[in-house]
Amino acid sequence: KQQVFGLSGVSNYVEGYDWGSVWFYKIRKGGTNAGPLANKDIEQLYMPVVFDNTDRVMGYGRKFYDQTLSDLGTGQF
């Protein structure tokens, strides 16, 4: 996590799970003034970086994130 933070800075938002965490970085301009939840294409604006519970990068990108949630579950802490 320290190396990712050093390279990319503070993430735009974070999700925590029992198996690790996900940091999301904005990679495209866009969005609405009505708030992020009102934007149905919000997933296309952010790139997830997936960490395991020892803070090591497991992978990144939307496909990897979706597959990880499918394999490990969405049990948030």
Domain range summary for the chain, segments of one domain joined by +: 2-72
Q: Which of 15, 23, 17 is nearest to 77 (CA)?
A: 17
| Residue pLDDT, tens place only, 4-17 | 999 999 999 999 99
Q: Are 2 and 9 in contact (CB under 8 A)?
A: no
Assess whether pLDDT exceeds 90 at residue 76: no
For 2-72, CATH gives 3.30.1450
Residue 50 CB coordination number (10 Å): 23
* pTM tops 0.85, yes or no: no
For position 45, what pLDDT does the model report? 86
30: which DSSP letter? -
| Residue pLDDT, tens place only, 41-65 | 667 789 999 999 999 999 999 999 9
